Amino acid sequence: MDIAGSAALVTGAASGLGAATAAALAARGATVYGLDLDKAVAAAGEQPDGVVLLAADVTEEDPVRAALARIDDDGAELRLAVNCAGIAPSARILGRGGPHDLDLFRAVLNVNLLGTFNVMRLAAEAIARHQPEAGGQRGVIVNTASIAAFEGQIGQIAYAASKAGVAGMTITAARDLAKHGIRVVTIAPGIVDTPMMAGFSEEVRAGLGAGVPFPQRLAQPSEYARLVTSVVEQDYLNGETIRLDGALRMGPR
Is 250 within the bounds of a domain?
Answer: no
Segment 119-162, tens digit of pLDDT:
999 999 999 999 999 899 999 999 999 999 999 999 999 999 99
Q: Containing H/E element for 159?
A: helix 157-177
- For residues 88 and 162, give the distance between their C-alpha atoms in angstroms, rounded to a whole number: 10
Please give the pLDDT value at position 95: 95
Residue 205 is assigned to a structural domain of this protein: yes
Q: 119 in a domain, yes or no?
A: yes
Report the distance separating Cα 170 and Cα 126, nearest Å. Answer: 19
Domain count of the chain?
Answer: 1
Coil vs helix vs strand at 184: strand
Which residues are annotated as catalytic? Answer: 159
**For residue 2, is it within any domain?**
no
Q: Is 252 contained in some domain? A: no
Residue 144 lies in a domain: yes
- Tell me the pLDDT tens digit for each residue of 68-113: 999 999 999 999 999 999 999 999 999 999 999 999 999 999 999 9
User: How far is Cα 24 from Cα 82, in angstroms, rounded to an integer?
Assistant: 12
119-133 as b/e: b if 16+ CB within 10 A:
bbebbbebbbeeeee
Tell whether 58 is covered by a domain: yes
* CATH code at position 237: 3.40.50.720
Asked whether the whole model's pTM tops 0.85, one would answer yes
Which of 131, 9, 114, 137 shows the shortest CA–CA distance to 68?
9
- Establish if 236 belongs to a structural domain: yes
Containing domain of residue 118, as a range? 7-244
